[in-house]
Structures are given as structure tokens and as C-alpha cells.
Structure 1
Amino acid sequence: MARAPHILLVEDERMIRDLIVFALEDLGATVKAVETADEGLAALEQAPWSLLLTDVQTPGELDGLQLAWRAQARSPDMGLVVMSGYHGGLNAPLPDGALFLPKPWSMDQFYQVIESQLARRSAYRPAA
């Protein structure tokens, strides 16, 4: 039996964060949700993560894109999904293997992107 993926979520908007936590738990994931990329950086040191899902614009010193680059440097096998409603802010490249999820997204788009990143990790198998 595959182990549950451990997902670190960085999203400062509470309603969106709560929705994403619910959706990820529906996939069988264990989720740690934080509001800022600064908190996300601290959480990266606390546990091994299957996936980092981060919004680009969060309060604090780091943004989500900077966090994604640091996460990749720390753990190259971690899945990375970067979300933003501000497409112009992503002229900078994403880390290798990272996927971009533009806001707003449909639940079908969300699940497709998350499952594609998790499927790259051998421990994850989507629920039937």
C-alpha cells in the first residue's frame, strides 16, 4: 500500500487555503498549510515533503517563486506547483519540473496538476 503524500501548502487567502486543504485531503494527502513563503521555508526544514504547492504572492520577505527555487535546491525530487492570478509576475522561469497553475482554476485542473506531480513520486497512487 502506498503511503499518503505529505504536502506543504503556502496560500495567504484563508478561503482558498481551506478549499485546497480539503481537496488535498480528499486525495488522501497529509497537509500542512501556512500563510507565507517565510513560514513555508521554515516548514521545509521540519519534514520530508512529497509536494510543495505555493501561491506566488504572499506577505513576507520571500515570495512563493523564491520558495519553490529553494525547495528544489533542498529536495530535487519534491513535486512543485506554483499558483498565481498575476501571470505577468511569472516572467521568471520556474524550477525544473515545476508546474504552473493559473488562478482561477477549476477543480478538474487542480486535481490534474496535483496528481501529475504526485504521480512522479512512486509512493503515490491516485484514489480510484
Structure 2
Amino acid sequence: MRNLRTEAASGRPPVILVVDDEAIVRLLAVEAIEEAGYTAVQAEDAEDALRLLDARQIDAIFTDIRMPGPMDGLALAAHVRARCPDMPILLTSGHRQEDCASATAGVLFLQKPYRAATLIATLAALLDARSTVSR
């Protein structure tokens, strides 16, 4: 279920950064992403995510909103948006989307619990939209 248009443009499967402080939730997302043919890297909080963003090529971010520490998923999304305005970002939370409203224009939201197929379809759409815009 790879997004072949995106892969063909870069010559490698897209790399998705999964950020969630709950290990089992993070691992289930990583497993679904890898089974779909993407490369997944993981971080347990926003600070780890920023270090990974500095260290390697990341093509999209899938992050929980509510995480411990000085920076939650909304702050992470805003920080990434400021640094890389075209980075596809998908937020998730067990709380209603309205409860998670922020100044993160262009960021999609996926309600927990979600199905793996919905996660993959949403990420594929985000990556496809990015590859269409960059052409």
C-alpha cells in the first residue's frame, strides 16, 4: 500500500515520524506505517521529535497532542510549521478535535481510537498532497 508517486519522487519510501508518549499506541502506529511500506521513526515526546527532525530526513509527522513535558503536540506542530511550512502533520488525540483547536492551519486531525487503515489513508493523502504541491 505504498504511496508510489511519493516514493518515486525521492527514490525511497517516505519517512514518518511517530510521536506519542504511550509506548503501545506508538508501536501500533509504527507497525501499521511499516506494514504499509513506509519507514517509521519514533519519539516519545516533542523534544525527542525535534532532535530526530534535526538528525534525519522526515517526510511527515504523526503526533499525539497531549504529551507530558514542556511541549505538547500542538506546540510541536506550531514549531515545525515555523521551521518547515510544507511539512505534512497529522495530529491525534482521544479528546474531541474542538478541544484541540489551535493556530495550526493546514494540520489534519485523527480522532483516537483510529483504525490502522484510516491512519495510512490519511498519511498517504497528506504525502500525496505534498508531492503534488512540490511539482
TM-score, structure 1 as length reference: 0.86
1:99 aligns with 2:104: no
Q: What RMSD, in angstroms, separates the aligned Cα atoms of the two structures?
A: 1.7
Q: Which AA in structure 2 matches 1:7?
A: I
1:52 to 61, 73, 79: 61
1:65 to 57, 63, 74: 74
Query: What secondary structure sits across from 1:52 in the alignment?
Result: strand
Q: Which residue of 2 aligns with 1:27?
A: 36
1:70 and 1:99 mapped to 2: Cα distance?
A: 16
1:117 aligns with 2:117: no
Query: What secondary structure sits across from 2:49 in the alignment?
Result: helix
Q: Which residue of 1 aligns with 2:4?
A: none
8 Å Cα contact 1:82-1:99 kept in structure 2: yes
Query: What secondary structure sits across from 1:7 in the alignment?
Result: strand
1:90 to 100, 105, 116: 100
TM-score, structure 2 as length reference: 0.82
8 Å Cα contact 2:29-2:116 kept in structure 1: no
Query: What secondary structure sits across from 1:32 in the alignment?
Result: strand
**What is the count of residue pairs matched by the alignment?**
122
> Which stretches in structure 2 are left out of the alignment for 5+ residues?
1-6
